[in-house]
Structure 1
Amino acid sequence: MSETDVIEICRTSIVTLVFVMAPVLVAMMVLGTVISVFQAVTQISEQTLAMVPKVLLVFGLSILLMPFMLGELRSFFEHEVADRIVAIGTGAVSVPNAGNLPGGGG
């Protein structure tokens, strides 16, 4: 496993994380904008008015989108991480400095 493989796994991890969290973040930004406009129009500066709906939105969307989120994370793990672990375990991918690892071919 080379540095390029590690960088590819990290890049794919970040892309997957953004893809999984994007619906919740976008909804939270839209709700935050709506609440801010409402507070500006009515001149209400109550902090709980801004925080409670966001917390409820994140909680509700997390529950509703849980199957999607877990499916994407499972797919990522199966296709990216597990396949590479199997490749290393079967010797299909060489591991640099394997002789320095405990139990490595030394």
Structure 2
Amino acid sequence: MSTEDVIALAEQGIFTILLVAGPLLIIALGIGLIVSILQATTQIQEQTLAFIPKILGVLIGIVVLAPWMINHMVKFATDIFSNLTTFVG
């Protein structure tokens, strides 16, 4: 296995991670931004107030996006395992 193959495999793995985790991170970022704007306008400076909406938003995001995320992860794992002989030998 050459260095180009290793780099291509690592690139594909990082892309899959970003593709799967990205939507959940964007959801958490959006909810955090909305909560912080609400905190700034109402002058409520409670640090723990942002955690519950983020947790609920990410949980709902997981429920909605789970089939799509699992599809991408299974496709990546299938590609890895189907080409296992080229990686080892």
**Whole-angstrom distance in 2 between the partners of 1:51 and 1:88:** 43
Structure 2 spans left out of the alignment, 5+ residues: none
CA distance in structure 2 between the aligned counterparts of 1:88 and 1:15, rounded to whole angstroms? 19
Count residues with an aligned counterpart.
Answer: 89
The two structures have a TM-score, normalised by structure 1, of: 0.76
Root-mean-square deviation (CA, aligned residues, Å) is 1.5
Structure 1 residue aligned with 2:49: 49
Matched, 1:60 2:56: no
Task: Please give the secondary structure, in 1, of the residue aligned with 2:45.
Answer: coil
Q: Which amino acid aligns with 2:16?
A: T
The structure with the largest alpha-carbon Rg is 1
Give the 4+ runs in structure 1 shifted more than 2 A.
86-89
Q: Which has the higher helix share?
A: 2
Partner of 2:72: 72
TM-score by length of 2: 0.89
**C-alpha deviation, 1:84, in angstroms:** 1.9
Q: Identity over the aligned pairs, expressed in percent?
A: 34
**Are 1:26 and 2:26 an aligned pair?**
yes
Unaligned runs of 5+ in 1: 90-94, 96-106
- What are the superposed Cα offsets for residues 29-74 of structure 1, whole Å, 9 maximum, x if unpaired? 1111111110000000112321111111112211221111110001
